[in-house]
């Protein structure tokens, strides 16, 4: 169900990695349709779901050619995001967790920041948290730290060429966002941060990786 308009390169490629979250995926997809900026494509990278995700996503793909669907057998989150990056065709790649959502101005505000600061290769930040604001410390899982001390991968906007250059996400048990960010810094990418809180991070999902680790 993947098709690419070779005559149109979108500014943003939004990668949604999903595994058996069809019930929550609607919220994420609808938040994309509600954006006040339309120069985007969306790659739904399905990590082997068997809960009807295909049938749900098909309706979006049939109604809006900006949605594209990619399926593979279960490889976990990091590898699924990498598959989405490889399949993307936009100048910048960004992410949307399948149980999260965007405020309507999310993409437009980042577009303005990136075009006004063309040297920035990785932009992050600007998150509104719903639910538990504390997660295990990657360096000491017995401790909890506030999310404002963390980098949150859903807020990443990265130049696709740069992401490919350093290999994307690593398949680690926990903290793949942090590893990704540190790799970007190590490779000398110009990093910018914004405080516009337009990425809505739902920490009230019982099946989120951070919540599972807190048990």
pLDDT per residue over 139-160, tens digit each?
A: 888 899 999 999 999 999 999 9
Fold of the 12-131+151-199 domain: Spore Coat Polysaccharide Biosynthesis Protein SpsA; Chain A (3.90.550)
Contacts of 126 by beta carbon, 8 Å cutoff, 6+ apart: 109, 155, 194, 195, 196, 197, 198, 199
Region for 210 from its dihedrals, namely left if φ exceeds 0, alpha if ψ lies in -120 to 50, beta otherwise: alpha
Res 141: pLDDT: 84
Mean pLDDT of 171-192: 95
Q: Residues 15-43: what's their mean pLDDT?
A: 97
pTM for the complete prediction?
0.91
Q: Indicate whether 162 pLDDT > 70.
A: yes
Q: Read off the pLDDT band of 173 (50, 70, 90).
A: confident
Report helix, strand or coil for 151: coil
Identify the pLDDT of residue 139: 85
Q: Give the per-residue pLDDT at 142.
A: 87
pLDDT: which is higher, 74 or 11: 11
Q: Does residue 211 have a pLDDT over 50?
A: no
Nearest CA to 78 among 200, 205, 163?
Answer: 163
Query: Is 13's pLDDT higher than 90?
Result: yes
Q: Among 100, 156, 94, which Cα is nearest to 128's?
A: 100
Place of tokens 């063309």: 118
pLDDT at 60: 97
- Residue 206's pLDDT band (cuts 50, 70, 90): low
């Amino acid at each position: 169900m993947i098709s690419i308009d070779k005559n149109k390169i979108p500014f943003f490629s939004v990668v949604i990695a999903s595994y058996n979250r069809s019930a929550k995926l609607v919220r994420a997809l609808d938040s994309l349709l509600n954006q006040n900026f339309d120069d985007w494509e969306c790659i739904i990278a399905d990590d082997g779901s068997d809960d009807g995700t295909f049938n749900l996503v098909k309706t979006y793909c049939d109604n809006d050619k900006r949605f594209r669907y990619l399926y593979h057998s279960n490889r976990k989150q990091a590898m699924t995001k990498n598959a989405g990056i490889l399949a993307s065709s936009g100048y910048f790649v960004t992410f949307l967790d399948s149980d999260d959502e965007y405020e309507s101005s999310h993409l437009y505000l980042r577009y303005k920041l990136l075009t006004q600061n063309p040297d920035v290769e990785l932009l992050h930040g600007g998150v509104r948290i719903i639910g538990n604001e504390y997660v295990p410390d990657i360096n000491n899982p017995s401790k909890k730290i506030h999310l404002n001390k963390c980098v949150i991968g859903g807020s990443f906007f990265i130049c696709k060429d740069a992401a490919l250059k350093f290999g994307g996400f690593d398949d680690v048990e926990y903290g793949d966002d942090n590893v990704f960010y540190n790799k970007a810094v190590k490779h000398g990418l110009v990093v910018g941060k914004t405080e516009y809180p337009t990425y809505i991070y739902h920490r009230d999902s019982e099946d989120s990786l951070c919540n599972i680790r807190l048990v």
